[in-house]
Amino acid sequence: MTVLHEQRKGKGTERLLLFPIVGLLSGIAALSIDMYLPAFPAIADDLNASAGDIQLTLGFFLAGLALGQLIHGTLSDRYGRKPVILIGLILYALASLACALSVSTFEMYFARFVQGLCAASGVVLARAVIRDIYQGDALAKAMSWLLLVMTVIPMLAPMLGSLVESAFGWQAIFKSLMLFALIWFGLIYFFVPETLDSHNRQLGKATNPFHALGQIFQHKKAIGYSLCGALAYGGMFAYISGTPFIYMTLYGVDGATYALLFALNILSMSLGSFINIRFVASVGRELMIRYLTRILLLASTLLLLASITGFGELYGLVVPLFIYMGCLAALAANCIAGMMEFFPEKAGSASSVFGLLQFGLGSLGAVLVSQFQSLSSIPMATIIMLLASSSFIAYRAMCFPAVDEFMTRK
């Protein structure tokens, strides 16, 4: 891979640990979501809440995560990546403790919203750190490596959450999240260098953050890439919100089996990242997006047909979702790279815009599933197919000419 500035990579141990630490930090949102999924029924019983009420806690978390993207991204362009990440982790730890102490759904809604607001620092700034260093197809490849490292967390989180909830109760899940944040605070403080150079930091301080965000939102192709990736992510969050009750209530799957099925889809995401790393340099980012959006649409259509007809029962859902998640990982890396490449001097703000759309639309997917909750997978499958279709349309309408430009350059 080519890098923009050699000095930003760090030296010795810093260089060796950058991808693992930053990659796992980018998974803080996934950890916050996936670890408590197996505890949904237990939380509902303890708080005297319905299934829809507990699914809504995911929507509040995602709403906070979306809003937090704008705050942390713009601040990091002015003051650097590292201080914003460290402050965000401390506040995240306090919000996690508040979740553990919640005794009502209202308290849980508020605590989860604040937790999402703080978790955004890790998500948005992990991408910004990588954008500070890489460019071009190397950036798309680096984003795939970042997502690949990040997938370790959602692969293990449901199983870990199930074990913790069984042994110590659901409150211990949120106390574990608090411990994670404190450990990562130490790792970031000691081993991750500041990647935003002083020149760009001064530019960030001199630039009106609202003007910078306005420039990004007015860039048609950048928003096209963002919508393409974000709408596809919305389908993932609809799946995350819907499957705990569909799998465990409708099909009688226990918490441990649910965690294994969830891990299977994370394995698919890892495979998708590997495929993108292998082929993006030779095929090109644009053609990869073109093919991936079509496969995503096909997988979501098969999911809806299986839900309507009952074909394959549980596995009729598992197989299309496996395909969907694998394509999503590759698609997301390419969309993030395509969007952020337009704004090298505003990587934090650009990352925040992508994150705002990603988690804003993700919260929409989660909330829609919670509102149409039933003992059927049809509402979830319909929402996923609509979001996949919208992702396909967004790319075709706003970015597709980029493919012709790419072919001309080849």
pLDDT per residue as tens digits for the range 319-371: 999 999 999 989 988 998 888 888 777 767 787 788 788 777 877 777 788 77
- Structural domain total, the chain: 1
- The boundaries of the domain holding residue 43 are 17-190+209-409
Confidence (pLDDT) at 6: 42
pLDDT per residue as tens digits for the range 213-251: 788 888 889 899 999 999 998 898 889 888 888 888 888
Cβ contacts of residue 293 below 8 Å, gap of 6+?
A: 228, 232, 331, 388, 391, 392, 395
Residue-by-residue DSSP string for 215-272 = HHHT-HHHHHHHHHHHHHHHHHHHHHHHHHHIIIIIS---HHHHHHHHHHHHHHHHHH
Q: Is residue 281 part of a domain?
A: yes
Q: Is residue 99 part of a domain?
A: yes
Q: Is residue 9 part of a domain?
A: no
pLDDT per residue as tens digits for the range 91-122: 999 999 999 999 999 999 999 999 999 998 88
Confidence (pLDDT) at 136: 66
Question: In whole angstroms, what is the distance from residue 184 CA to residue 98 CA?
Answer: 19
Q: What is the CATH number of the domain that holds 317?
A: 1.20.1250.20
Confidence (pLDDT) at 215: 81
Q: Is residue 118 part of a domain?
A: yes
pLDDT per residue as tens digits for the range 137-163: 677 777 777 777 677 777 788 888 988
Q: Is the pTM above the cut of 0.85?
A: no
Q: Which segment, 18-22, 63-67, 222-226, 260-264, is predicted with the most confidence on average?
A: 222-226
Confidence (pLDDT) at 56: 87
Q: Is residue 22 part of a domain?
A: yes
Mean pLDDT for 363-384 is 81
Q: Is residue 202 part of a domain?
A: no
Mean residue pLDDT across the chain = 82
Confidence (pLDDT) at 3: 47
Q: Is residue 204 part of a domain?
A: no
- Do residues 62 and 363 make contact, with C-beta atoms less than 8 angstroms apart? yes
- Do residues 334 and 280 make contact, with C-beta atoms less than 8 angstroms apart? yes
Q: Is residue 172 part of a domain?
A: yes
Percentage with pLDDT > 90 across the chain: 33
pLDDT greater at residue 278 or residue 296: 296
